Every structure is written in C-alpha cells, then in structure tokens.
Amino acid sequence: MKKNSKLRLICFILALTTIFYSISVIGSTSVFAADVNTRYCEDEITPNDNLSNTNNIESVQPKFDNKTIYMCKYLYNLDDSIDYIYTEFENGGYVVFSRETMEMMEYSLNGTLPYTNSSTKEYYAGPSNYLQKEADSKFINLLTNEQIDITINEAIDFSQQIRKAMKIQSLYRTDINFEYSNTEDEVKNLLHSSINFSNSVDRNNKPKEDEDNLIYPTLGMGTLIPNYRYFSANPTHGKNNKGETYGNGNSGTCGSVAAQILLGYNNYYNDRRIINDRYLNGYDDITNTVADPENNPNYCMDPMLMTNYTTGTRSEATGINSFYSKVITTIMKPNTKGASCKEVYNGIKAILNEHLSSNDYYIVYQSKRWFLSPSPITSAPIMAEIDAGRPLIIGTSSRLGSSNHMVVGYGYQNYTYPDGSGTYAGYIVHYGWTNDNCVWINSSWCDGYIALKINHNHNYNTVGTIPGTNRTEYKCTTCGHRTDAAINMLSRDRYIEKVATLSTGKYQDYYLTFETAGNKLIQTFGANDSRLYLYDSEYNLLAEDDDNGYLTNAFLNYTVEADTPYILRVKFYSNNISGKIKIGLTPASNVYSKYENIWTARSTEASFTFSSSLNTTRVITFTPKESGTYKFKTCYIGDTRIDTYLYLVNPYSTDACLFNDDGAGDLQALITTDLVEGRTYFIVVSTYIITTSSGRLSISINKTS
C-alpha cells in the first residue's frame, strides 16, 4: 500500500473513532422516561398517515411559538377510537387536535383542560365535554362532575358522525398492526420545529427498580386480562439461578422462563395443541402416561381445577420431557447466556410451528434497545394487548432503570410511590421468580415486547356432568380445551339456560357460539340486579345491558353470525353481592328492547295466536292477576298437526325453568303450575323442530284453582 493511501486510511479510521467516541462521551442524546409526567401520546402512526395538514399547522405555529409542551396524551372518542391528541403547555395553554387531520378542535393560550396526567383513558366529545368512563355506558364529565349515560350504540353513532363530519376515513384502534413512531417528535414537528418539551420534570429522575424490594401492587385500580387468575395460580415454571445451567448448558434464562409461561397460558386457554401431554405436569416418564391426572389440565376430574400444576408445565432443568428445557434449547444456542427479544420471538414461533400452522397464530415483537440511546417502548400496544385479553412478554432494561429482564404482563395500572416520588403508569406482571407472580413494573423501564395471539376458535361438544357437581364439561373437538363455561347454541336449540354462581366482585365469562345466525334474545333472571356484556373474541364490546330485563335484570338482543365465537359476561351490578344469576338464551323471532315490551297479557286467562318461523321461537309474557294454579297449553291452527314445545320461566328465580313437549296429547305441550300474582312470567313457545317446522300456533293460559 502506498504511503499516502496508508495515511488516508489511518485518518479515516481515526475520524470514525472520534465521531463514535464523541457521540457516546461528549454528546448527550435525549433519554426520555415515559413516566406519568411526560408523554402519553405514545408512538403511533397509521398506515394512511396524512397528519401534516399544513393549513392547521400554519394557524397553530404562531400561537405556540414560545410555549414548552408539558404533556400530551391521546383522547378517545366515545366508541374508544383514539381520535384526538391533547397537548398541554407549561405555564398554561392547551390544544386538542384531531389525530388524523390535525385540525384544532379547541385551544387556549392560558387555561388547561381537566384531563389527568396519567394513563387513565379519557374521552373527548367536543368543547366542554371532557369525559372519563366510570363504568360501561356511564361517563362522568370532568368539568361538571355530571354523570352521563350513553349506550354503546349511541356512542358508536356519535363517534361515526363526528368522524364523518371531519372526513376521517379510518377507525383508529389500539391495534398492534399499526406502526409506531415517537409521537412527541411528531407533535413537535407539526407544531413548530423549535418547540420544546418540558424539562421541569426531570425525566431521568424516575424511580429505579429495586429488585430487592419489588413492588407488589394492590389489584383493582387498573385493568387486568379476564383470565388473570391463571397468573394468580403461579403456574409451575423453570428456575433461573446463577451458578446453575439449564437446557443445554444455558444460563441467564429469563427470556425462556417468560416464553414458557406465555406458551403455557395460551395452551391452557386458547389451544391445547401447543403443548403435548408429556410436557405437562402429571406425566410419568417411565410408563409414558399421565399417571397423576389431577396435576394435568387435560385429565383432571374438574376441567376448571386451577392449581400451579394444572396451569403450569414441566420445568426440570434438563430432560427430554421438560417443557422448560425444550423452550430453552429452542431459543438459545448451547452453552450461551441470555437471549434477545428477537431470539425469544423466534423460539416461540418455532415451538408453535411444531403443532400449528402459521394461520393459527399471530406473533409480533418490538424492541427499542439501542446502546447509544435507550428508549422506553410505547405503552399503547402493550395496553392494547391487555385490553384485548391477551398477556404478553415485556422486556425491561438496566439502562432505563430496571434490569435486563423479560416478564409476562397481564395488567396495567398506575402506582403511587409512598416516598412521594410521584405516580407512574406501569404493568402488572409475572416476574418469573419464585412466588413473584404479581409485581408492578414502571412502564418507563420497558424497552420491548412480544405479543402473541392464537387464532383458534374452540368447537365444543358436551362431555357430561362433572362428577360431584351440577356443572357440565364441554370439550373442544379440535384442540381438547375443556371448560364448564361454554354455551354452544345448536340450530335445534329453542331455549338454553345457564346458572352462574358468583362470589362478590367476580364475573363469569361464557364462550358462546351459535350454529345458526340471526337474532338471539339473551337475558338474566333472578332476584338481584345483574348486568350482561357481549364481546367478540377479542373483548371488543358488542352489546351490554343493565336493567331492561325483568325488574333489575339485564336483557339484550343481538344478531349473531354462525360459528363465530362470542364472549358473554354476566355479573351482579353491585360488587358486594354474591349468589346466582340465571341466563336464558333463545332465538326469538321478535326483537324487543325491554322485557316489558314483550307481547303480554295480564289476567287470569289469556290466549295468544301467532305464526312461527323457521329457526326461531316466540316469546310471550304473562302476569297473573291472582295467585293460583294455571294451565299453559299449546295448540296448532289448521289441519296439519304441528308438534310444539313450551318453556315457562319464573323470572324472579334462578331455578331451572319448567318445560314440556307432549303433555297435552296430540304432540302439544302442557304445563300446570302455581303462579304468583303480579309477577310477569316468561314463556317460550315454538315448534318441536324449529329448523324444519313452522306454522300457525297458539297458547292458552287458564287459571284452574
């Protein structure tokens, strides 16, 4: 090499070294801690990003030139779509933008709006309508403290009208498919390039994690996935001690522990094909059988038995039947320590692909780990996963105040440090250490996540009564998932009842499918105030009701799709009540908004005549004017005999309803029973086989004594 070329090469290398060193030592890149006092408009851009509405920027720029942004956060439209950004400035002043068009909804150079500086979801419904949700369909105006009832349909209509008026094309959801970017920079860019964010809150002074004193939160002040009890059971999982090796000479296995727990959860609830029996507890390696069925979720007598064994997986340090070892050796190369977010992601995929096809799941990861400028991951996708009922792996970083760890998140809530350090947003996690299954971590310590969604929909068959109980076991014919909380309404089903037994503050979710599409009437019965919620399989609320049923029972109609999973949630209105709630479902031909609107009679005798249609039933109510014994009898009209069926429900009771097929002879139904004066009884009448038979029917009601 010539002398000059050699010298140029040396200078080039020196130049690179200097630049590199200068950035790391002299330059200070901004390290944002996403604590509650700083940013809340987390990284989010849409596929159809057209946020640069220059007209609005030009009108905004002069107004906020000298301002420093104190905080910004997303505001929700009434249908939970993230349609707005609220930006508040130091020393007063605020602006509310439309996210898509950046149109200013309102602003002030001096005042602020009563939105809280926290991760609590807050809503915007136009000037003076600054809302927070207290309960489903109940909002409170933060300005006036006024309580406002808005049904879900009203919320959807309102939001759609607003978006239409603003010519917004897309409905924004907190969906992991969206890409994210730094929204502080985005807002900064759109307002003015010179605008600053507040330094008055020292972003680097957020509390650091103290692994010796983990934070064990009081649950109930935030959001948990519905199946959070899985983590309360503390499923068996691998250990991760210094000085030990696991798998194939591996250590530093926190990522593998998190993956083991996440896969265990999804196997337990979503698809039992993920983990083979030999990797589950209760399996005997000598006989190659499940020798201890009560430790195995697929064989225990009660399918709802949740111990750390039935929820967990085999966790020996090594061994061909240890699921923990399998996870480690899939994620980590032999004799290595630790794993990156990507390696854990790839390992989970490899395990899923052993038994599932790529269509059976969706997995994504994001990591913000970069050695020059560590940055917390946005909380929006993590919260979105939890809102959709899915736990996920969250990575933390020592450069953000935690340790270089991976945990499984299943909730989020704020936490107020008792030493006055402030209130911060964070996640509820299984920490992966022995007995640390409910730990709070600050969201600003987190730099990555891995989100997993299993696409399998259970197809339940009835197995039979669970021994020793009055509950029924259902089992998925595809994956083997077992439950006592499935309602699979077949085409031939005229009326189904389920009784939920609830402790105080608890709810019951049912996995619901319908063989036939169409309107279904779903309501509760019983003496206490109850509520119903209908969700899709991702816990998006479709319908709900409180008091449209009998007295304070719930009552709703919904047009369902066939073979599509729904989740029906039932609970008492009050968190202080325990007991039973009965749910009734029927494919009612007529849609009524309230129980009291159902075709009815109030007397000592009545007669109803109607035409029945295929795949439906006719619902009627009857209020006896006097207590006594009454006879209910069906009949067909015309020459062609039609086989009928009859149900009679006492709406005040959770006891099983009365039902009859041919008690009156001639294939007609007959029920004779005592009725209470003034109580409005619920009646379901139909042909015997609703899928093939219809016709003109009648029911007569007479007091006999």
Partner 1 sequence: MMKKTKYIALALLLPILFCSFAGCSAIKFNAVLYSHADEWVDEDFIKDNKVKAFYLNDDYTEGISDPNEKYIRDKDSPSSRVFIINDEDEYNRIFSKSPINVNFEKEMVILYIFSDVNPYRKYKLKGINLEDNILTVQTKLEYKNINDTTMPYPRCFMLKMKKTEVREVKFTTK
CB of 332 to partner 1, least distance (A): 10
For partner 1, the closer of residues 17 and 169 by Cβ is 17
CB 368 within 8 A of CB 306: no
Q: Which is nearer to partner 1, 12 or 417 (CB)?
A: 12
DSSP 482-519: EES-EEEE-TT-S-EEEEEEE-TT-EEEEEEEESS-EE
Give the nearest distance from C-beta 216 to partner 1 in angstroms. 12
What are phi and psi for residue 468, nearest 5 degrees?
Answer: 80, 5
Chain centroid offset of residue 648 CA: 36
* Closest of 42, 39, 34 to residue 380, by C-alpha: 42
The contacts of residue 659 (CB under 8 Å, 6+ apart) are: 495, 645, 646, 647, 648, 671
Token code pair at residue 610:
């109607």
H-assigned helices in 90-210: 152-165, 183-191
Smallest distance, partner 1 to C-beta of residue 344, A = 8
Q: Which is nearer to partner 1, 255 or 587 (CB)?
A: 255
Smallest separation (angstroms) from partner 1 to the CB of 22? 6
Q: Cβ of residue 403: shortest distance to partner 1, in angstroms?
A: 5
Q: Give the footprint of partner 1 on this chain (CB under 8 A).
A: 4, 7-8, 10-11, 14-15, 17-18, 21-22, 25-26, 210-213, 239-243, 251-255, 316, 337-341, 343-344, 369, 371, 395-396, 398-399, 403-406, 433-434
Nearer to partner 1, 234 or 414 (CB): 234
Q: Which is nearer to partner 1, 261 or 646 (CB)?
A: 261
Least distance from C-beta 215 to partner 1, angstroms?
15
Q: Is 686 helix (H, G, I), strand (E, B) or coil?
A: strand
Least distance between partner 1 and beta carbon 338 (Å): 2
Cβ contact 549:540 at 8 Å:
no
CA neighbor of 486 nearest in space, from 540, 567, 564, 544: 567
DSSP-derived secondary structure letter, 358: G
- The least CB distance from residue 318 to partner 1, in Å, is 12
DSSP string, 244-299: --BTTTBB--HHHHHHHHHHHHHHHHT-TTSS-GGGBTTEETTTTEES-GGG-TTT
Report the relative pairing of strands 579-586 and 600-603 from DSSP bridges.
unpaired
Query: Which lies closer to partner 1 via its Cβ, residue 160 or residue 398?
Result: 398
For partner 1, the closer of residues 4 and 359 by Cβ is 4
154: Cβ contacts below 8 Å, ≥ 6 apart: 78
The alpha-helical segments, DSSP class H, found in 74-130 are none
The minimum distance between CB 530 and partner 1, in angstroms, equals 42
Q: What is the dihedral of CA 78, 79, 82, 84, to 10 degrees?
A: -30
- Smallest separation (angstroms) from partner 1 to the CB of 350: 18
Amino acid letter, residue 129: N
Dihedral of alpha carbons 327, 330, 331, 333, sign: positive
User: For partner 1, which is the closer residue by CB, 16 or 143?
Assistant: 16
In the complex with partner 1, the residue whose CB is nearer, 373 or 692, is 373
Task: Look at phi and psi of residue 218 and say left if phi exceeds 0, alpha if psi is from -120 to 50, else beta.
Answer: beta
CB of 35 to partner 1, least distance (A): 18
Q: Which is nearer to partner 1, 23 or 637 (CB)?
A: 23
Residue pair 544/577 in contact (Cβ under 8 Å)? The answer is no
Task: Compare residues 264 and 584 and give the one whose CB is closer to partner 1.
Answer: 264
